[in-house]
Copies of this chain bind each other. A is one copy, B any other.
């Protein structure tokens, strides 16, 4: 018995004035989603806790069955894994932007004029020569990922993720000096190593011919690095081991690949899957259908619903939902004909009039041979609330699915 979990990012919404008071899911014609609801059992889910806006990282930890309050290790490691960086236990990873500072050290652009991937890669190459000397036994490894983005890994003994962000998310101010967020010597060591890396990297970048050339061309030089979101690998048992399943994940966005990899999913690469509204969704769905032949648990992530929510574009969200629904139909057919399980939900609510994550519950529907089919016929936030699942927590979902797969051991006799 097998199950596929489809998560549409930021799927949950609120009544939208421009949609006549309907949510985008209510307004959409989404035959595949409604079929899952009709043939399945429905409910709503507090991914973290009622009213608690989840981050995408904590949300996915919860949906994969891990209590983020107990095991959330910061975002950095997930980002690093998501762009293919191999991490070791103890590594502290940071998301990094290439940025531009002026002669006073004030950030004038957090993305270095949206420097190209090609140029950023050359700069990243030059950063390999940085050696950490102020803290013993620590190595700094910088990986470029795409455009102005990269990942910094501090590797060595006695490091901590409890160091502050350097990136203030604002232009017009100096980057924040990294500082320890607790009184541990580990956090002090980490902040010190990070500070040294930034100073040395700044000098290398400022003098790099590529940046001098950019200045000549009237472009912003990528003369600083802005780390944020220090994170480590979570200390958890892999999902494959907890439930005894083979598990594969299909996602475009790096973070989602990273969380999935961190908890033990194998990543399936789909060309053109890029975590945007222009993703190769058809390819992802085809890959998911194939993956069901080889894996017991398949995770399919679609980011586009969140993108249009952050853009505050409810009409576009309706269109995106309808597109996703159309593309999902072959998967629904496959699951139905094989007698597998399919669960569809969101990782959080991103109201498309607000453009930010909010703590409203998300709709959930599970179809499969043994579900208690209810009379919900439409997959939306309000219809699902009347279904046979009632209201559950995000951390309950994986156990509920594994129960259908007969993989949850008895507690007691």
Binding site for B on A (CB under 8 A): 14-15, 21, 23, 43-44, 48-59, 68, 72, 75, 229, 351, 354, 357-360, 370-374, 381-382, 385-393, 396, 398-403, 406, 408-413
Contact = CB atoms under 8 A, between A and B. Distances in A.
Contact of A359 (B54, B399, B412): B399
A108 to B, nearest CB: 25
Q: In this complex, which of A351, A371, A403 has the most chain B Cβ atoms within 10 angstroms of its Cβ?
A: A403
A370 B351 contact: yes
Given A373-B15, A396-B51, A387 B388 contact: no
A374 B385 contact: yes
17 contacts: A14-B370, A44-B390, A51-B396, A52-B399, A52-B403, A52-B411, A53-B410, A54-B412, A56-B412, A56-B413, A58-B412, A72-B412, A358-B403, A359-B399, A373-B382, A385-B387, A391-B391
Contacts of A388: 44, 381-382, 385-386
Given A357-B410, A360-B403, A374 B382 contact: yes
Nearest to A57: B412
A411 B55 contact: yes
Given A399-B52, A403-B53, A58 B386 contact: no
Q: In this complex, which of A44, A359, A389 has the most chain B Cβ atoms within 10 angstroms of its Cβ?
A: A359
Contacts of A373: 15, 21, 382
A49 B412 contact: no
Contact of A51 (B44, B354, B403): B403
A48 B382 CA distance: 26
Given A229-B413, A390-B44, A413-B57, A408 B372 contact: no
A400 B359 contact: yes
Given A15-B373, A370-B15, A399-B50, A68 B390 contact: no
A108 B55 CA distance: 58
B15 A408 contact: no
Q: In this complex, which of A23, A373, A382 has the most chain B Cβ atoms within 10 angstroms of its Cβ?
A: A382
A49 B370 contact: no
A51 B401 contact: yes
Contacts of A360: 372, 403
A392 B15 CA distance: 21
Nearest to A402: B51
